[in-house]
Structure 1
Amino acid sequence: MPLKFGTSKAIAIAFGVLTVSSIGGMFTMIILFKAQTQNITMTPPPTPSPTTLAPPPNMRLPKSLVPQKYEISLAVHLYTKIIEEGNGSNPNITTPNQTMIFTGNSTVHFQCAQRTMSIFLNSRNLNVSSPVVLNENTKRNIKVSGLQHYDDESDFLKIELMDALEAEGNYSLFLSFHGEVSDNLEALYLSRYTDGIIKIFIAATNLQPTDARKVFPCFDEPDMKAVFKLTIFHRRETIALGNAAPYERNIIDDEWQRTTFRETPKMSTYLFAFTVVFFTTQCHFCVLFVQTYARPEAIDAGHTDYARDIARKLLRFYESQFEMKYSMGKIDQLALPDLYPAAMENWGLITYQEGFLLYQEGVSSLLHKEDIATVIAHELAHQWFGNEVTMKWWNDLWLNEGIATYLSYSAVDSVEPTFNIKEISIMNDLHDAFREDALASSHPLSPPSKAINTTDDILGMFDSISYSKGAIVLRMLANHVGEVVFNKGLQVSKNDFPFRSFPRLKPQAENQYRGHKAVRNTDDIAGFMNPWITQSGYPVITINTTNGQFSLYFLGHVKLHPVNSWTVEIEFISDASSKFEKVYLYNNEPAFITKNGEWILANIDCTGYYRVNYNPENWERLLAQLQTNRHSIPLLNRGQLIDDAFNLARAKLVNVTLALNSTLFLTNETTFLPWESAVRNLEYFILMFDRSEVYGPMQVSVIWLKNSCLQIILIFGNTHISYLCIYHTKCCFILRYTQLLAIKLACSNGLPECVEMANIHPNLRSEIYCQAVAAGEKEEWEFAWDMYQTSSDTSEKEQLRRALSCTKKIWLLSRYLDYTLDPEKIRLMDVASTIYYIAQNSAGQALAWNFIRANWDYVSQGDGAMLIAGVTSRFSTEFELEEVIYQSFLLAVALAIEQTQVNIQWVKENKDDVLQKKKP
């Protein structure tokens, strides 16, 4: 499950359960081990007192029972089509009332690993009845003495027995149940769209992380894998899709049919998936059987062609990369009108928001095409890492999401080399990780398993740390051991499955480090990696070129302090040589090199997860080098020098003037990454000062940015871009990024060149639409709203939805906020991001803050954490801090409190510097 597209977010061949050992012991590339029944640590059943049903302290299921197989029958009672009353040629037509009920029964077969008188499963919001326990060895029923639900966050369902289940015995449990299809994009939920006067209804599942228990009673923990055999009863005009391929479809009567699916391999409950849809598909046979399902009109128009073709290429890439064939036998891609998050990696049945699967040539932007390829690459990577190989518990979610994110870099680059976006993806993840990991409210990649118990705890793990930091730390490991060795460690072979350990590396001659003794135990991957995954935050390398000393510190948002655990590999170059040199810092023991008046640049290509600070003389030399010959500094480092300078300035480690001066070379820079870094960091200045007296002087002090922006527009105007894209295909996509950024700067600064580029290319529509709505009145806003309501292109709708938030009219923004409460106007999955867009508008931030407090229960059903972070991003006063603290009931408010405190401190420390800053 991707975080930003998110975000995602499992099965082991040979019926093994693979898990992670990331604390202590040998750190393996994937740190996975088999947790079969013979080595599961047994936990005794909970023993609540007679007057309470309190769960055990860690709220985990006991391991006395090991599930083997589920047989599930479900009847989904939804009417698939309902004609709206009073419409069409027959206004008197009667329409059925929609029913949201589903009914079913399940039989779970399990082995008893420890004698017990109770069966514990998970169940939530289900009416469960008729328990039948069978001893499968003797074929005798075991009497049930009671059935109890735990009324707490454990969601335990307890089946009390008259006789004990004996160790090594095989048993089964039959249960009947019924529940309601959700209208809130969770568990088994309702999605809908309108086809003319006909409303089409879809039943779909989204079970990650803990919603399988809302569909059927189950052992709802990721390491308790089992085989699934599913039968769905559904309306005759619909089709049912599941993880596995159907092997039998039977018509029952004029209204109902039954679809029975083949057995799945063993997999986790959160990956169980099915849907009942009125969709069509285009079958496509290649190396693998791939089908893409969507609304019939989207299929007929060819909007699924790109997703189908790119999935085929990506599957071939991953099969080659892992040296293992895709094992489910079929894969369905399903474009849903409603889904939160953007995609979900269900094994064999991947679901997507329509916007991340449908592509309309000539209408959708190239950036939209990149998003589709990236999201599909992420979800397909999960078919191996996440589905085939799974973390034991949610505290190690980063292994699922970090690996899938990291693998998508190379996968997209391999199958779509003209996109040339690998470096952009890496830098986006690096900066997302840095931003979140700099706060005290961050968490380690792998916190202790006992710290992650409740569903809220688990949901908190789906953040930039697990996805972005996870990917960047894995990239650092790949650089440390070498790509060849790293990729070898990822290969999942049928003849050697599952992985037990990553091969221990032997010291190589090139790993003897200048001026510093060799790192101890260089073959110990655990020693190298454990600090990076068990500690939050990141180090800062301080380099003093006057004495040649490299030192290692940890960066808090106020001061530096030494650390004693990280081992950091540092690659650097100097102006005397373009050859990469290497030094290791270990346990904060300083390393020394000899340099004579040369500049030194460390962390080449940003392969390390750390920031770098230099003595003032080296900073001056580096910034001078950027202005005289920037190409001697690698591209990624040109962007990272700016990002480091601004963030070190926030921590008062360098002066804010140095940070601003780090952008001066941009007057000659035409590549995207350095500009993106500068604009992103300067946007923080705008957020902090656009409501204060500092804003005017600040705009004057960076007037040169406008002039540089004009130069880029002249270089990368529509005509020149078109010429370059014809003759230089590979750089075309990156040029589009640069052009879009230039237009954004021109428009946000009121430059006339913005209007002159109104010959709208699909890549530029988002920014042009925004500026048109911002400059317009009611008529322009309502015109854009009508376009949004009537457009059938998902990319166009997304750009219009964002543009509607750009108006400066308070009453229009207030109207737009009210629209988010009506799912007929704004889909529930889009509510959080719509409010986020409005809050980024200085005219809408206060409105959005008041609105989410008044309507939190509804608007937080999507990404509540993103909502809080976005709406409070401008907060920088004591009054605003008090308002956030008062809202202690809101999700993610702790992060908002800390960020507001940081903002207050930063404004106090930098306000005078910005006011006094003169034009460079």
Structure 2
Amino acid sequence: MFRTALNRSFVHYYKKSAVTVRLVLNLFTMIEKKPFERLPKDVTPVNYKLRLKPDLLAFTFDGHEIVSLKVNKPTNKIVLNSIDISIKKATLTVGEKTEDAVVSYCMEDETATLGFAESVAAGDAKLCIDFEGELNDKMKGFYHSKYFTPDGEERYGAVTQFESTDARRAFPCWDEPALKATFDVTLVVPEDRVALSNMPVQVEKVLGDGCKEVHYLTTPIMSTYLLAFVVGEYDYVEGRSSDGVLIRVYTPVGKKEQGQFALEVAVKTLPFYKDYFGIGFPLPKSDLIAIADFAAGAMENWGLVTYRETALLIDQKNSSSATKQWVALVVGHELAHQWFGNLVTMEWWTHLWLNEGFASWIEYLCVDYCHPEFDIWTQFVSSDYMRALELDALHNSHPIEVPVGHPDEVDEIFDTISYSKGASVIRMLHEFLGDEFFKKGLNIYLNRFKYSNAFTEDLWAALEESSGQPVGRMMTTWTKQMGFPVVQVSQRQEGSKRIIMLKQEKFNADGSVDETDSSWYVPVSLCTASSPSTPVKKVLLLPEVKSVEVILDNVSAGEWVKVNPGTYGVYRTQYSADMLDTLLPAIKDKTLPPRDRLGLQNDVFALARAGKISSVEFLNVVKSFEQEDNYTVWNDLANNLDQLGKLLQYTDIDDAFRSFVCKLYQPIGEKMGWDPKENESHLDSLLRSLVVQCLAKSGDSKTITEAKKRFHSHCDGSCCLGADIRSPVYHTVLRDADEEVFDRVLKLHKEADLQEEKVRILRSLGSVKHDKLIQRCLQFAMSDEVRSQDTVFVIISATCSKLGRQMAWEFIKENWSELANRYSGGFLLSRLIMSTTYHFASNDMAKEVEGFFVDHPAPAAQRTIQQSCENIRLNATWRQRDESAIREWLAKNST
């Protein structure tokens, strides 16, 4: 299947670039390597008795395990996963007989094979292994994490991150999600350190050598990637949910009050999920812990969820409203996994989206319950739904369900498709079925497969059983093929009836007509001016019927009709010109609800970028938002204007465009002002931050002057910047910074005690314009003053300008060996590649990026490289097609 798609890509790009040909041939070479095979099932684990002793000075660990096995058929060898582990001795006991194993390794497959002189009979057996390993600095497996005591002393802890395939770096194991077992964990650690694992402590005893031995209760049957241990120094706050589960939030020493907000969210969340799923939380305790060095945002280890500090800790004075909202979402996401992913686990990584797509949907449901003032579902449309459509329109996208083999392939699908598109199709299905049937189906699914594994089809079957709808047939069109449709809409009036014509075809980011027969079951709703919030008609477009007519009764001539109210359906909508014109007044007077205003402009922007309409039509729609006052609508519009602005940096109309954008933002800027108003909403706080950022970036002199004034008052201690405006102020002053200002910002970073503040500054550094300061920013990113987890985002911050983008790319090429070594096999490398190259806008740059990665292969980021190069070519075509029309439009609309 993949090989066929590759052949199509080869033909498509053959004439464009000899470098691309080399890239594709390189891919074929990669594919021809030894086929990946999953572990044999002739021997499977039942229970691991695991004892680990980490050395926090030498960064090594000693381990011993006794694995209770089920020998399913006679064999003379045992194959299990192991990498970066030295097995000192391995013995197998069957009955009264014990035999030493001969150990061999396969680095490519990340396995160890234990060979025996005689065949082992089917039945029960015990495998004993003594081993040692390294507490690495890669933020995966069993690794060390640096932190500082309240007195500033440097210390190290030991932390795990096993998803997806890194438990094998901590102990030899059957490291596949379907090969579940129970675990009895014992940790030997310094006496003065906190030691945590998935379960509560059963026995703790002092050993007399400055160490203690901590033994934990047996876990439920679970996958290896969910096992966890943390050793370090922590404070905590605790509470109990209404159903009696003990919840603790662990924080750095002296900062336990920063865990209070996350604790409040968790205490509400566990009972919410218990009610929604119809199953209580399966463990006796739930720990949430902030880790100093952590590659991902968080990890759902069963009963011991690990987080970046910025995803868990809230300082009431210094944390922004955006961070508070982020913490609520991440807590909701990870606790959802305790059922959906941990209790019931995907059978193999192909079904990863069952974990991540579902959790990415229900986190919003949970936060909407805990904090309805966030209007979080409108934000979902901008932050997840639209991001998914943008990526999935590429020819180099992938289906939600993508075949996965070798571990190198797993990390690459932890992406927007698995998370955000997965969440979007779940949201669409939930709306289609209704909450009652959806909840009932989830309860069937979770009870049927609890403590075991499931396939995507198992979820569809349960939802089909609860609802009576053809869920499997419908949803297969969304999960097994990539992409989505554009629904083309036109109309005619017949008396008091409005006849709406609907036609679906695959939407491609380059505007091409798809040669395949891609089509979907598309649930389409329609609303009218007289019923703007409630659909007046619902239809299901069928794959085999590409176009239909829908009759709406009692719709007068001139009354607007809107498709996809609430923006639930995962598709673009392209209206006929007359239909779009009737909708613009509803944007201006805001009779069209926020999600529909947002969805309408985003569809028009995507159609313009694809060349289906002119970018001038998008700019005409933008003018309808002059009186907009909704944060999320502004945020999405600002993202699209910023993307167009980055394209126009490569033209001579950059200044004219920024002037237009500046005038657009000025009315809302005057309304919001700089300082919070009494009893203002959470969304107003977010909107103020956004508008200050946008006005300053577009060159508004008043905003820039005020930002500099407030920055200097903040630095001299006379007036502290509010948390919500710190980020836009830092960006603004850095944009015009000289060496002195840059040094003052670095001083703020050095003095900051809150990780959120450090990250806020780091992500602003690249706003500088001068080449010397850009180079300082990039060099600082690789210094010891920046945690490895944050380096990527400092480099990315430089890409906001044309010069910075080019310098960041040159910096990546010069430092590729170190960057690839740091982030090999992880999503951070893919993020770095995409974010630093996405906004280039010439075919020559596409060839250069391709050529570099032909000579410097990055297998785990291969799809990302293809997506990035496709984006660069799209930008080049977009600029060439629309530059003159935009220039003419700006000349007419500059006053």
TM range (shorter): 0.7 to 0.9
Q: Say which of 888, 895, 903 aligns to 2:867.
A: 895
Deviation at 1:805, TM superposition (A): 2.0
Residue in 2 that maps onto 1:530: 476
Kindly tell me: are residues 363 and 225 of structure 1, through their superposed partners in 2, closer, same or farther at Cα, counting changes over 3 Å? Answer: same
Among 263, 271, 283, the residue aligned to 1:308: 263
Counterpart among 876, 884, 891 of residue 849 in structure 2: 884
Distance 1:395 1:788, change over 3 A: same
Secondary structure in structure 2 of the residue aligned to 1:390:
strand
- Tell me if 1:177 matches 2:123: no
The amino acid that maps onto 2:86 is N
Structure 2 counterpart SS, 1:545: strand
Query: CA 1:803/1:550 → structure 2, altered by over 3 Å: closer, same or farther?
Result: same
Query: Is 1:398 aligned to residue 353 of structure 2?
Result: yes
CA contact (8 A) 1:143 1:163 kept: no
Q: Offset at 1:424?
A: 0.5
Q: Identify the range of structure 1 (565-574 vs 216-225) with the bigger mean alpha-carbon deviation.
A: 565-574
Corresponding position of 2:597: 638
Show the counterpart of 2:795: 835
Kindly state the Cα deviation for residue 496 of structure 1 after the two structures are TM-superposed: 5.5
Counterpart of 1:518 in structure 2 is none
- Larger fraction in helix: 2
Structure 1 residues 226 and 506 mapped into 2: Cα distance closer, same or farther (>3 Å)?
A: closer
Corresponding position of 1:742:
691
Q: Which amino acid aligns with 2:304?
A: L
| Residues 1:186 and 2:140 are matched in the alignment | yes
Q: Distance in 2 between matches of 1:698 and 1:648?
A: 20
> Matched residues in 1 for 2:531 and 2:208: separation?
80
Distance 1:366 1:72 in 2: 42
Distance 1:723 1:563, change over 3 A: farther
State the 1:387 CA deviation. 0.9
Establish whether residue 369 from structure 1 lines up as the match of residue 324 from structure 2: yes
Give the residue type in structure 2 aligned to 1:715. Answer: K
Superposed CA deviations along residues 798-820 of structure 1, whole A, max 9, x for unmatched, are 22212222222221221221122
Describe the SS at the equivalent of 2:221: coil
Distance 1:658 1:493 in 2: 47
3-state SS, counterpart of residue 663 of structure 1? helix
- For 1:298 and 1:916, locate their aligned partners in 2 and report how far apart those are by CA, in whole Å: 57
Deviation string for 1:508-552 (max 9, x for gaps)? 9xxxxxxxxxxxxx7221111001000111111111214632111
User: In the aligned structure 2, how far is the partner of 1:329 from the partner of 1:71?
Assistant: 20
State the distance in 1 between where 2:314 and 2:531 align: 47
From the superposition, tell whether residues 397 and 806 of structure 1 become closer, same or farther in structure 2 (CA, over 3 Å).
Answer: same
**Structure 1, unaligned stretches of length 5 or more?**
1-53, 79-97, 509-521, 726-731
Distance 1:351 1:173 in 2: 30
Distance verdict in 2 for CA 1:718–1:682, change over 3 Å:
closer
Identity %: 27
C-alpha contact 1:69 1:109 (8 A) present in aligned 2: yes
- Residue 752 of structure 1, aligned match among 701, 704, 715: 701
Separation in structure 1 between the aligned mates of residue 744 and residue 439 of structure 2, nearest angstrom: 52
Q: Deviation at 1:182?
A: 0.3
Q: Given residue 527 of structure 1, which amino acid in structure 2 is its aligned partner? A: R
Q: TM-score, normalised by structure 1?
A: 0.85
Q: Which amino acid aligns with 2:52?
A: L
Counterpart mapping for 1:132-147 below 5 A: 132-135=91-94, 138-142=95-99, 144=101, 146-147=102-103
The amino acid that maps onto 2:225 is: Y
1:696 to 632, 652, 655: 655
Aligned to 1:297, the other structure's residue is in SS state: coil
> For residues 290 and 493 of structure 1, what CA distance do their matches in structure 2 show?
27
Aligned counterpart, 1:914 = 886
CA deviations over 1:281-322 (Å, ceiling 9, x no partner): 2343443111222221212xx112212222111112112211
The letter of the residue matching 1:896 is S
Which whole-Å CA distance do the structure 2 matches of 1:544 and 1:317 have between them?
43
CA contact 1:420–1:733 (8 Å) conserved in 2: no
Specify the SS of the correspondent of 1:209: coil
Partner of 1:39: none
- 1:36 alignment partner in structure 2: none
Counterpart residue number, 2:426: 474
- Counterpart secondary structure, 1:104: strand
Matching residue within 543, 567, 575 for 2:521: 567
Q: 1:282 maps to what in 2?
A: 237
Larger relative contact order (Cα-Cα within 8 Å, sequence gap ≥ 6): 1
- Which residue, 532, 541, 545 being the options, matches 1:585? 541
Matched, 1:671 2:630: yes
In 1, the alpha carbon distance for the partners of 2:558 and 2:260 equals: 58
Distance 1:810 1:643 in 2: 34
Deviation at 1:489, TM superposition (A): 1.8
Which amino acid in structure 2 is aligned with residue 460 of structure 1?
E
Asked if 2 retains the 8 angstrom alpha-carbon contact of 1:548 and 1:594, the reply is yes
Whole-angstrom CA distance in 1 between matches of 2:319 and 2:626: 32
Q: Name the counterpart of 2:819.
A: 859
Q: Which amino acid is the alignment partner of residue 466 of structure 1?
A: S
**Cα 1:430–1:777 shift into 2, 3 Å:** same
C-alpha distance in structure 2 between counterparts of 1:626 and 1:205, whole Å: 50
The letter for the 1-side match of 2:785 is K
1:70 match: 48
1:539 match: 485
- Size of the aligned set, in residue pairs, is 812
Q: Classify the secondary structure of the residue corresponding to 1:723.
A: coil
For the 8 Å contact 2:106–2:112, the answer to whether it is kept is yes
Q: Which of the residues 60, 63, 72 maps onto 1:113?
A: 72
Q: Corresponding residue for 1:7?
A: none
**Does residue 1:786 correspond to 2:725, yes or no?**
no
SS at match of 2:432: helix
Q: What is the CA deviation profile of residues 192-224 of structure 1, one whole-angstrom value per residue up to 9, with x for unaligned ones?
A: 123335211111111111111111000010111
- Which amino acid is 1:771 matched to? T
In 2: Cα distance, 1:620 partner to 1:221 partner: 55
1:570 CA drift (Å): 0.3
3-state SS in 1 of match to 2:255: helix
Q: Is the 8 A contact 2:442 2:463 kept in 1?
A: no
Aligned equivalents of 2:47 and 2:562: distance in 1? 57
Which stretch shows the higher mean deviation, 207-216 or 304-313?
A: 304-313
Partner residue of 1:764 out of 720, 725, 738:
725
Matched, 1:621 2:577: no
Query: For the Cα contact (< 8 Å) 1:642–1:674, is it kept in 2?
Result: no
Inter-partner Cα distance in structure 1 for 2:688 and 2:892: 25
Where does residue 307 of structure 2 map in the other structure? 352
Q: What is the aligned counterpart of 1:232 among 172, 187, 196?
A: 187
Contact 2:298 2:305 in 1 (8 A): yes
In the alignment, structure 2 segments of 5+ residues that lack a partner are 1-31, 493-498, 711-718
Secondary structure in 1 aligned to 2:139? coil
Map of 2:503 onto structure 1? 551
Distance 1:179 1:559 in 2: 52
Q: One-letter code of the match for 1:602?
A: V
Cα distance in 1 between the residues matched to 2:635 and 2:302: 36
Residue 770 (structure 2) aligns with: 809
Q: Is 2:395 the partner of 1:440?
A: yes
TM-score (norm 2): 0.87
Deviation at 1:336, TM superposition (A): 1.3
Question: Which residue pairs with 2:615 in the alignment?
Answer: 656
Give me the whole-angstrom Cα distance separating, in 2, the residues matched to 1:199 and 1:677. Answer: 42
Specify the alignment match of 1:776 in structure 2.
737
Computed over aligned residues only, the root mean square deviation of the Cα atoms, in angstroms, reads: 2.2
- What is the identity, as a one-letter code, of the residue corresponding to 1:113? N
In 1, the alpha carbon distance for the partners of 2:357 and 2:642 equals 28
Residue type at the aligned position of 2:867 = L
- Secondary structure of residue in 2 paired with 1:332: strand
Residues of 2 paired with 1:723 and 1:198: CA distance?
42
> Is 1:453 the equivalent of 2:405?
yes
Shift of 1:242: 0.7
Query: Match for residue 11 of structure 2?
Result: none
Provide closer, same or farther for how the CA distance between residues 901 and 564 of structure 1 changes in structure 2, counting only shifts above 3 A.
closer
| Secondary structure, aligned partner of 1:662 | helix
> Secondary structure at 2:202's aligned position in 1?
strand
Q: Distance in 1 between matches of 2:466 and 2:758?
A: 55
